[in-house]
Amino acid sequence: MPTDPVVRVLIVDDNEDAGELLRTAVEAVGHRAEVASDGPPAIELARRFVPHVALLDIGLPTMDGYELAGHLRAMPFPIRLVALTGYDGQADRERATHAGFESYMAKPVDLDRLRGLLTTAADRR
């Protein structure tokens, strides 16, 4: 039996416009998305939504994306973590990898790259 090709994507960004733009981009290619603006509400949303992929802004107000990544990794389901940040130095990329992020995307997000990432996530399921 084939798997459902729809990828559930959790978007966490304290910039409301950026979060909604990403939601629109994800949904435009046939996937589902939910948006949270900070770490604690993202954790609660993840428990209900059970995302396959999480796009996490690193610079969040209450809990940064690195700490949030640890909480999401502890969830009882697999989740692919993607760091979203305005910081694009080598040290930033290494820190994200060390924190468990599988991908790293500098802002503004390259929408073609995002589509490719979601296609890969769908294929892996």
Residue ranges with strand state E in the chain = 8-12, 32-36, 53-57, 80-85, 103-106
Residue 1 lies in a domain: no
Q: Mean pLDDT, to the nearest integer, of 36-58? A: 97
Residue range(s) defining the domain that contains residue 87? 8-124
Indicate whether 97 belongs to any domain: yes
State the average pLDDT over residues 36-43. Answer: 98
| Residue environment code for 100-115, b if the CB has 16+ CB neighbours within 10 A, otherwise e | ebebbbebebeeeebe
The 8-class DSSP code of residue 110 comes to: -
Who's near 112: CB < 8 A, 6+ residues apart? none
How many structural domains is the chain composed of? Answer: 1
The per-residue pLDDT for range 85-94, each reduced to its tens digit, is 888 888 888 9
Q: Average pLDDT, whole number, for the chain?
A: 92
Is a pLDDT exceeding 70 seen at residue 36?
A: yes
Write out pLDDT tens, residues 60-107: 999 999 999 999 999 999 999 999 988 888 888 898 999 999 999 988
Tell me whether residue 2 is in a domain.
Answer: no
Residue 118 backbone class (left: φ over 0; alpha: ψ -120 to 50; beta: rest)? alpha
